[in-house]
Copies of this chain bind each other. A is one copy, B any other.
């Protein structure tokens, strides 16, 4: 192939930071599929500009995907300043030589989902899932991804538990295992897939699920299932959340996220409390993902948003599954 014996290098330019994190996806698809494509062309290794929005001299690691029948090749990310330098040299027509050394290894281990709940007073069988994940990428300490999510959901549940009044429905806090290292596959599955498959018929009584997996910066939007758009529930939630800066969004929550996502195809609706992600891709999957990056005031706003919304859902009899999207009247 045209890359025989060479290192494939991809520089897509710096990822653009967006409030909703939408700059990340397009580049991660290239990162994911790049190694197999490079190997097809004979490359001995794959190198990509970090998919991240910062200018620190730290690489952002992240998922790469290998395709069945392909030999795996070593894959690396370089920091933005180093990518700038490599790309400059290429532009000037220089022959670029890169020495690669990796300490990565694969090994078998076990992960668990950790589950706790406030059992509902009048409808204990009706479950609302509050998700996050326990594992983190190896470079940082996982404060942003996803210690924050666990802290936010458990603090919201604790605020409700401490109130002395039990909610009607069950609030189930799940710290999922294995979000980072094992994306869902038919063979393995992640903690979210294991949970969804393990619930069996009980999943029919899962009212709604949401996860917190985007750091600790403030919540700015509430996203509900398609059927809840324009509903009385959405109006009530807006009255509760607007004073702390959360607007009801007309963007429908369909995916839920990696952890709660596997419940979607099995019929469980999702809510989303969208967080400001402008700063998220400066930090996540890098050595900079540490506790000092958490802003206590914004963390508290997250807890308030979760606690407020959960009280509304848990004490209501809203059936999100049964709500059908309103078809706009033909003019």
Contacts and interface: CB of A to CB of B under 8 A. Distances in A.
- Interface majority SS on A: helix, strand, loop or mixed? loop
Nearest to A81: B290
Q: How many copies does the complex hold?
A: 2
A84 interface: yes
Q: What's the interface size class on A, roughly?
A: 10 to 19
A56 B79 CA distance: 14
Contacts of A291: 81, 84-85
A287 B292 CA distance: 20
Given A55-B293, A56-B56, A81-B290, 8 more contacts: A56-B288, A57-B140, A57-B288, A80-B292, A81-B288, A81-B291, A84-B291, A85-B290
A58 interface: yes
A292 B58 contact: no
Contacts of A287: 57
B55 A58 contact: no
Contact of A292 (B84, B286, B292): B84
Interface of A: 55-58, 80-82, 84-85, 140-141, 286-288, 290-293
Contacts of A290: 57, 81-82, 84-85
A286 B58 CA distance: 11
Which 3 residue pairs are nearest across A and B when measured between Cβ atoms?
A81-B290, A57-B287, A57-B288
Nearest to A80: B292
A58 to B, nearest CB: 7
Contacts of A80: 292
A250 to B, nearest CB: 37
9 contacts: A55-B288, A55-B292, A55-B293, A57-B287, A57-B288, A57-B290, A80-B292, A81-B291, A81-B292
A98 to B, nearest CB: 16
A56 B58 contact: yes
A57 B287 CA distance: 6
A101 to B, nearest CB: 13
Contacts of A292: 55, 80-81, 84
Nearest to A55: B292
Contacts of A293: 55, 81
A291 B287 CA distance: 21
Nearest to A139: B57
